[in-house]
Chains A and B, each alone.
Chain A
Amino acid sequence: MKHASETEQLFQQVLDETPKAIKQQVEWSYDIADHIDASLHRKGLSQKEFAKMVGTSEAAVSHWIGGGHNFTLSTLAKISAALGEPIISVVH
């Protein structure tokens, strides 16, 4: 299993060398995706219904909850308004 440990070392090396900004972007995009998905489940909304509420396509909603999406403030504001709850908060 020499290859397995070498693969894990290489995987860890890339994680260690990843700039903090990229790590933060990944964390936020998945946190937001999970938040939206949980909120849709809580409210009993399908992706199709939610897409209609926001004025976008079902494919766009699928991308949002798929993680890795680079959200704009405009999109976050629309999602927040449609869900009737905050998606992000700013530290003062």
Chain B
Amino acid sequence: MPHKTIHIMTKATIQSVRQTEKAGLFTICFEGDSYTEFQKFIIKGNENATLQPDLQKILNAIQRMMNAVGFLERYFRPEGKIRDRVAALPIQTSKLRLYCLRLSDSVLIVGNGGQKTTKTYNEDPEINGYVITLQKLDDILRLAEQKGTIHIEETEIEGIDDQIFDL
């Protein structure tokens, strides 16, 4: 039986974290928060001695993708629903998951994550919250792409700097 989670709409921006020739990495920042969602994930993993090696593997994997061939679909595990672009970056020997939106082979928006201790993401309220946030963002971005207010151009999301989203 999936847990019910209450979601309060919060304003958020998308911020560029790092750009290489092959790829662009972005994250979400909620209004009033001291940290971006990616920072929260890193801090959480880095403070836990058990999770730290897995965090290091995930971040080195992202860096490797950004330097080599980009965010190829086969590197990610689909999460969320079939129609959305929500994915998880797992390390196969660990339960640590980083949830993200893979917009293309060259553009990735990373959210928060944590240890997946249940069989499905929606059985864990915390993980479910991260996935729902990304699903909402995916819907909003699709609409913005259709309207032409944002545009994915190679490793960049053009127009994203001016946007504030209700998530």
Quick check: B60 and A15 within 8 Å, CB to CB? Answer: yes
Total chain B interface residues with beta-carbon distance under 8 A: 33
Cβ < 8 Å to A, chain B residues 32-73:
35-36, 38-39, 42-43, 46, 53, 55-57, 59-61, 63-65, 68-69
Inter-chain contacts of B68 with A (CB < 8 A):
30, 34
A66 vs B91: C-alpha distance when bound (angstroms):
10
A40 vs B69: C-alpha distance when bound (angstroms):
17
Inter-chain contacts of B59 with A (CB < 8 A):
11, 14-15, 18
Inter-chain contacts of A4 with B (CB < 8 A):
15-17, 27, 29, 36
Total chain A interface residues with beta-carbon distance under 8 A: 30
Quick check: A37 and B92 within 8 Å, CB to CB? Answer: no
Given contacts A22-B56, A26-B57, contact A10 B42 (CB under 8 A): yes
B108 smallest CB distance to A (angstroms): 13
Quick check: A14 and B64 within 8 Å, CB to CB? Answer: no
